[in-house]
Amino acid sequence: MGKFIKPKFLWFAFWVIAVFASITVLPNLQPIITTHQNVTKSQVNQQQLTRIQNHWRRGQKNAKQLTIVFNNPHHHLTTKQNAAIATVLKKIDKKSTYYSITKLRTTHTSSNDRELLTSKDGSTQLAVASINTRQTELRVVAKQLTTAAQTAGVKVAVTSPDLITANHQAAQNQQATRLLLLGLILTFILMGLLFKSLLIPLINFLFQSIVLISTASVGANAITRLQLPFTSNSLLISGSIGLIITTVLTWSLMRDYFINRAGIEDTDQAALQTMQQQYRRWGFSLVGTALATLSLS
């Protein structure tokens, strides 16, 4: 197998250039996924929060909201608990710069806020913080506020539509990564069993990595520059297609090589003839996979 690889530097130089160019122009995928993720208000069933958002977003450019929820699951909040909540919120407000809070609305801000931010049965009280997302990440501040807002005898939670969406996207990304890694492992084992060789699965793994990077780069740049539609599942689907196509092409490559090798004594000539047969197949397949990434929405 070493004789197949050694004389064909042009073949590998082509892939090195392709992957280097793809990595160079590959943008950050997370903002693309976040920007193009379809968010609906049905994700959060909070009519009071929606009313606050519609009123409060004026003058709060580059700010996203976090809602701090204080709840007594047994009965209404007691006077002592309300006082403790007020003390906690004052401490948070004093450290607003640390938390990147541009504005904090509580039940003590105004009589209108008291009505909006308090449940009818008195068991729940809300505080709404506007976070400057240019300075920090919403998920980071949410964790900090959850810790800072802890109050004795009261359940505390920090939530928002943006935070729910971010957590959902993070879970999707983790699941997609696991599935692609599982696919890499399974195809590695499959190629090893088919050819009874360790080198061929490694070659296939190299090709799969190159195809995934190249496809992601082409798709992400086209989506960014052409403003094409996109969903967070697109890369998973196109990545899976890429793994399957690359495995089939690697099998085709090695099959052609062994067939040519049987009829040609010169290994270099057999390898060269194999590559000439494969260039067109790989080109069409890579273009097709990139187009599949663009068309998934």
pLDDT confidence of residue 203: 83
Cα torsion 185, 189, 191, 195 to 10°: value is: 160
Q: Which stretch of DSSP H or E encloses residue 236?
A: helix 234-263
Nearest alpha carbon to residue 130 among 67, 68, 63, 69: 63
Q: Which residue, 140, 159, 178, sits at the end of a domain?
A: 159
pLDDT confidence of residue 232: 59
Rounded to an integer, what distance in angstroms lies between the CA atom of residue 101 and that of residue 231? 30
On whether both 155 and 174 belong to a single domain, the answer is no
On whether both 134 and 181 belong to a single domain, the answer is no
Total structural domains in the chain?
2
pLDDT confidence of residue 129: 93
Residue 296 binned pLDDT confidence (cut-offs 50, 70, 90):
low
Residue 141 binned pLDDT confidence (cut-offs 50, 70, 90):
very high
Q: Any idea what the CATH number is for the domain that residue 124 is in?
A: 3.30.70
Rounded to an integer, what distance in angstroms lies between the CA atom of residue 59 and that of residue 112? 19
The residue with greater pLDDT, 136 or 90, is: 90
Residue 4 scores a pLDDT above 60: no
Q: Which residue, 143, 159, 175, sits at the end of a domain?
A: 159
Cβ within 8 Å of residue 120, ≥6 positions away:
none
The residue with greater pLDDT, 165 or 50, is: 165
Q: Which residue, 105, 135, 159, sits at the end of a domain?
A: 159
Highest-confidence range of 110-114, 156-160, 221-225, by mean pLDDT?
156-160
Structural contact between residues 208 and 243, judged by C-beta atoms closer than 8 angstroms: yes
pLDDT confidence of residue 229: 60
Residue 225 binned pLDDT confidence (cut-offs 50, 70, 90):
confident
Rounded to an integer, what distance in angstroms lies between the CA atom of residue 59 and that of residue 45? 25
pLDDT confidence of residue 134: 80
On whether both 283 and 216 belong to a single domain, the answer is yes
pLDDT digits (tens, 9 = 90+) for 166-197: 777 777 778 888 888 898 899 999 989 988 88
SS3 label, residue 207? helix
pLDDT confidence of residue 173: 75
Q: What's the N-to-C CA distance of the chain in angstroms?
A: 42
Backbone conformation region of residue 279, classed left if phi is above 0, alpha if psi is from -120 to 50, else beta: alpha
Residue 14 binned pLDDT confidence (cut-offs 50, 70, 90):
low
The residue with greater pLDDT, 196 or 85, is: 85
Q: What is the mean pLDDT of residues 229-237?
A: 67
Highest-confidence range of 46-60, 162-176, 192-206, by mean pLDDT?
192-206
Residue type, 194: L
The residue with greater pLDDT, 202 or 267, is: 202
Domain residue limits at 140: 45-159
Structural contact between residues 105 and 164, judged by C-beta atoms closer than 8 angstroms: no
Rounded to an integer, what distance in angstroms lies between the CA atom of residue 285 and that of residue 182? 22
Q: Which stretch of DSSP H or E encloses residue 127?
A: strand 124-132
Rounded to an integer, what distance in angstroms lies between the CA atom of residue 113 and that of residue 230? 39
Cβ within 8 Å of residue 190, ≥6 positions away:
247
Residue 297 scores a pLDDT above 50: no
On whether both 286 and 170 belong to a single domain, the answer is yes
Q: How many CB atoms lie within 10 A of CB 210?
A: 18
On whether both 125 and 194 belong to a single domain, the answer is no
Share of the chain above pLDDT 90, in %: 25
Highest-confidence range of 1-15, 148-162, 264-278, by mean pLDDT?
148-162
Q: What is the mean pLDDT of residues 121-150?
A: 90
Cβ within 8 Å of residue 200, ≥6 positions away:
1, 191, 192, 250, 254
Rounded to an integer, what distance in angstroms lies between the CA atom of residue 288 and that of residue 282? 10
Residue 38 binned pLDDT confidence (cut-offs 50, 70, 90):
very low
Rounded to an integer, what distance in angstroms lies between the CA atom of residue 235 and that of residue 181? 14
On whether both 129 and 172 belong to a single domain, the answer is no
| CA 87 to each of CA 108, 142, 257, 273: distance values in angstroms, whole numbers, following the listed order | 11, 19, 75, 78
pLDDT confidence of residue 145: 94
